[in-house]
Amino acid sequence: MNRNDLKVISEKAKEKHKKYKHKICVCCGAGCISSGSEGVLLKLQKEIVERGLQNEVEVIPTGCMGPCNQGPLVKYLPENTIYQKVDCENISQIVQSQIVEKKPIEDLLLFSDFHPKPFINAHDDPFFKKQLKIALKDCGDINPEEVEDYLAYDGYLALGKVLFQMSPEDVIAEIKHSRLRGRGGAGFPTGLKWETVYKYVSEEKYVICNGDEGDPGAFMDRSVLEGNPHRVIEGMAIAGYAVGANKGFAYIRGEYPLAIKRFEQAIKQAKKNGLLGNKILGSEFSFDIEVRIGAGAFVCGEETALIASIEGKRGTPKPRPPFPAESGLRGKPTLINNVETFASIVPILNNGGEWYSEIGTPKSAGTKVFALAGKINYSGLIEVPMGTSLREIVFELGGGIQGGGEFKAAQTGGPSGGCIPAKHLDVKMDYESLMSLGSIMGSGGLIVMDEKSDMVDVARYFMEFCMDESCGKCVPCRVGTKMMHDLLQKIYDGKGTSIDLERLEELAIYVKETSLCGLGASAPNPLQSTLRHFREEYESKIEQDID
Amino acid sequence: MSTEIVSSEKEIQNTDPRIKLIAAKMKKENYKADALIEILHTAQNAYGYLPMNILKFITKELKLPPSRVYSTVSFYHFFSLKSKGEHTCLVCTGTACYVKGALGLLDEIEHKFSLKPGQVSADNKLGVQVARCIGACGLAPAVVLDDEVHGKLTNEMITDSINAKIK
């Protein structure tokens, strides 16, 4: 396929969709599948054929639509009516009422169990109203298993534009202009990273997509890979062109079999259509992607450990510098970005860096995907502009605390992050604001806790996680996390003393300052942030002991 | 441990289709040490765990020191040197599941099936493990029974679901 063919195919795919009056999307993300959505899809397709509606209505499986705990979800377009908790029994009723009689069924509408008056157009619901989908755009609207569907939504046009109308310098300038920062957690400016890799002269360079989403409570990358894999492939190919790499690796967690399957399938389709491989779209640029499956080690989210794992070794980190941009995979200059970062590249090139940089806050541009979970009414996947307040996320989008409980804290950033207490509910969700509260943006996991959660237990839980996941290479992390865990356990069991608390605080500083990689350096964060915001809980456990 | 791999008496049967699968994978990867983890994934998918004689076979074919293979296997949680049981119940203990009662599910499993995480029943029917996070946080608490995700579980539901699998 060359560039003109791409335009023709994309137009054809659009025409094909136009011939249908309605589209029914059945969410087939891992969450909805486990609630039975595949059965719903088959039954629905059968029902449409049996009623002779197949020329009028198309039924497709899609990726994640967002409200995961209300699944299986079925979306009816263009009305954008979403039905929740659909099972095979409801289907005939939905088709009859929605398609034949043009009357939505109120009792089955999304969030009908929460609102007295649910919304017929789901966009009016507070869950969707404040969202701005950029990385997740089209996820939930297209069939992730069909490249034609992606093409119908202008897929690979950005790659075509880049290859024929832009120099690598232009692409990097555009990304720099967008002020996009790495979505894996640390928030390093993406354009700068690309430029650094670009400047190193080497015959061989690599692009790696970090899909080792190890933070417990995070499923943004899984949803993007499952829901719109071609978007990530296109982003990686553009990155390859910009930095001068011809080979990419996507490192995906072994715990995500569906994401792996869909991503591998998407690579095959892209290759078959000349969108990956030799001389992409008839240009001089060649790029290929291989999938590497993670084997369950949290530390492999750290870039040097991830590289070791791709090389088939133990995933232990190396001291930096040299940074992977200089000496990464097989000792060559390597660009590593997170899944969500790659998913944001295509919209930036389609709409311009200027457009992206105007969204969000001055220091954190664009949008961020969060995985809402815990004691919250609507758990699931959301994407909001940077700077949206935690209060808006929890109480408007998330529908408040489950069971009418009281908000106690929100945990962001997983084992490297911290807990934000109720008094800081108005914090703007951006890199700097979260850091000033002792937490981090992290990859986007946001777990809401109510008054029943014991914050010492939360700190102990994360410390146990870091202790288990420490690779053992450096002493501060290997021994320090174990010592901190034992002290936390002692305090949690009511056997701690005030000296233990002092030692904990001291240790936290040592481990933070002296660990080799980010795992150890951030392991004390949950402890320090709970100590900062919930010190009285620690003290009450100690006092009990003295009495 | 390395000597155990080298001196493993149990010779592998070349007629075993699972061996052929692993051999084909190694060939596809050009016997590169780079692909060790991929090959181990293939082997574990075929056997359910990584038997010593299979590790020995891979070590020989890839021309790697046994220590290199063993150190890689022992590093990653995914790889297991012993059978995980015919049916596996993987309980997610990620933050969302933890907050919503994953430990209760583990207690229930221990109570009903006398199995703690990492243990396999005497008849090899059921193995119980824990996962750091399976990414199904919207359905917390969740477990993976064989390859199916079961979400929003209560103590009663988990027992019923497991019984349905192993009976």
Query: If one looks up domain B87-166 in CATH, what number appears?
Result: 3.40.30.10
Q: What is the pLDDT of residue A55?
A: 94
Give the span between the Cα atoms of A447 and A375, in whole angstroms: 8
Token pair listed for A445:
């996991």
Give the span between the Cα atoms of A250 and A440, in whole angstroms: 25
Contact (CB<8Å) A217/B93: no
- Map tokens 């995979």 to a residue: A329
Token pair listed for A444:
């986007």
Q: Closest Cα of chain B to A481: distance in Å?
A: 17
HSE on the CB side for A34, CA within 13 Å? 28
A interface test, pick of B95, B145, B150, B161 with most A CB neighbours within 10 Å? B95
- Map tokens 């300038």 to a residue: A173
pLDDT higher than 90, residue B13: no
Q: Are B116 and B158 in contact (CB under 8 A)?
A: no
What is the residue-wise DSSP string for chain B? Answer: -HHHHHT---PPPTT-HHHHHHHHHHHHTTT-GGGHHHHHHHHHHHHSS--HHHHHHHHHHTT--HHHHHHHHHH-TT--SS---SEEEEEE-SHHHHHTTHHHHHHHHHHHH---TT-B-TTSSEEEEEES--S-GGG-S-EEETTEEE-S--HHHHHHHHHHHH-
CATH 3.10.20.600 boundaries in chain A: 367-450
Residues in B touching A214 (Cβ below 8 Å)? 132-133
Which candidate from B41, B75, B147 shows the least CB-CB separation from A297? B75
- Whether residue A43 lies within 8 A of chain B, CB to CB, comes out as no
Please, which residues bridge with residue A204 across strands? none
Instruction: Report the Cα–Cα distance between both ends of chain A, in Å, rounded.
Output: 78
Q: For A473-489, how does the pLDDT look when each residue is reduced to its tens digit (9 = 90+)? A: 999 999 999 999 999 99
Q: Are A529 and A439 in contact (CB under 8 A)?
A: yes
Length of chain A: 547
What is the residue-wise DSSP string for A35-75? Answer: TTHHHHHHHHHHHHHHTT-TTTEEEEEES--S-GGG-S-EE
Q: How far is CA A165 from CA A154, A160, A288, in A?
A: 17, 8, 21
Residues in B touching A68 (Cβ below 8 Å)? 136-139
Q: Closest Cα of chain A to B39: distance in Å?
A: 9
Give the span between the Cα atoms of B63 and A475, in whole angstroms: 32
Contact (CB<8Å) A411/B95: yes
HSE on the CB side for A449, CA within 13 Å? 27
Give the span between the Cα atoms of A13 and A6, in whole angstroms: 10
Contact (CB<8Å) B136/A31: yes
Which candidate from B77, B135, B148 shows the least CB-CB separation from A219? B135
Residues of B with CB under 8 A from a CB of A: 32-38, 40-41, 68, 71-72, 75-79, 93-96, 98-100, 131-140, 142, 147-152
pLDDT higher than 90, residue B126: yes
Token pair listed for A118:
């649910």
Contact (CB<8Å) B96/A374: yes
Q: B94: nearest CA in chain A?
A: A216
Q: Are A377 and A371 in contact (CB under 8 A)?
A: no
- Map tokens 């499993």 to a residue: B109
Count residue pairs from A and B with Cβ separation < 8 A.
140
Please, which residues bridge with residue A446 across strands? A372, A412
Q: How far is CA B133 from CA A224, A298, B95, B138, in A?
A: 17, 10, 8, 12
Q: State which residues of chain A have pLDDT below 50.
A: 545, 547
- Whether residue A217 lies within 8 A of chain B, CB to CB, comes out as yes
Q: Are A398 and A392 in contact (CB under 8 A)?
A: no
Q: What is the pLDDT of residue A116?
A: 85
Give the span between the Cα atoms of A215 and B129, in whole angstroms: 18
Q: Closest Cα of chain A to B10: distance in Å?
A: 26
Read off the pLDDT band of B8 (50, 70, 90).
very low
HSE on the CB side for A370, CA within 13 Å? 32
Cβ atoms < 10 Å from Cβ of A506: 10
Q: Closest Cα of chain B to A248: distance in Å?
A: 15
Q: What is the pLDDT of residue A1?
A: 80
Phi, psi of B48 (to 5 degrees): 90, -15
Give the right CATH number for A18-129 from 3.40.50.300, 3.90.245.10, 3.40.190.90, 3.40.30.10.
3.40.30.10
Q: What is the pLDDT of residue A185?
A: 83
Contact (CB<8Å) A254/B75: no
CATH 1.20.1440.230 boundaries in chain A: 455-546
What is the maximum span of chain A, computed from C-alpha positions, in angstroms? 80
Residues in B touching A526 (Cβ below 8 Å)? none
Query: If one looks up domain A155-357 in CATH, what number appears?
Result: 3.40.50.11540
**Interhelix angle A339-351/A157-165, nearest 10 degrees:** 70
Read off the pLDDT band of B14 (50, 70, 90).
low
| Cα A1 off chain centre by | 31
Contact (CB<8Å) B137/A257: no
Q: Closest Cα of chain A to B116: distance in Å?
A: 17
Contact (CB<8Å) B137/A471: no
Q: How far is CA A516 from CA A152, A316, A471, A474, in A?
A: 47, 10, 11, 6
pLDDT higher than 80, residue B15: no
Contact (CB<8Å) B99/A447: yes
| Cα B134 off chain centre by | 14
Q: For A258-283, how does the pLDDT look when each residue is reduced to its tens digit (9 = 90+)? A: 999 999 999 999 999 999 999 999 99
Residues in A touching B138 (Cβ below 8 Å)? 31, 67-69, 71, 219, 371-373, 379-381
pLDDT higher than 60, residue B6: no
Element holding A273 (H helix, E strand) = none
CATH class of A455-546: mainly alpha
Length of chain B: 167
Q: Closest Cα of chain B to A502: distance in Å?
A: 27
* Structural fold of domain A367-450: Ubiquitin-like (UB roll) (3.10.20)
Give the span between the Cα atoms of A390 and A5, in whole angstroms: 46
- Cis link prior to A72 (omega < 30° from 0)? yes
Q: What is the pLDDT of residue B51?
A: 95
Nearest one of A102, A101, A119 to A110, comparing CA atoms: A119
pLDDT higher for A254 or B10?
A: A254
Give the span between the Cα atoms of A112 and A82, in whole angstroms: 10
What are the domain boundaries of chain B? 2-75, 87-166
ipTM of the complex: 0.89
| Cα A359 off chain centre by | 19
- Whether residue A226 lies within 8 A of chain B, CB to CB, comes out as no
Token pair listed for A511:
């481990």
Instruction: Report the Cα–Cα distance between both ends of chain B, in Å, rounded.
Output: 37
Give the span between the Cα atoms of A374 and B98, in whole angstroms: 9
Give the span between the Cα atoms of A256 and A265, in whole angstroms: 14
Q: For B34-46, how does the pLDDT look when each residue is reduced to its tens digit (9 = 90+)? A: 999 999 999 999 9
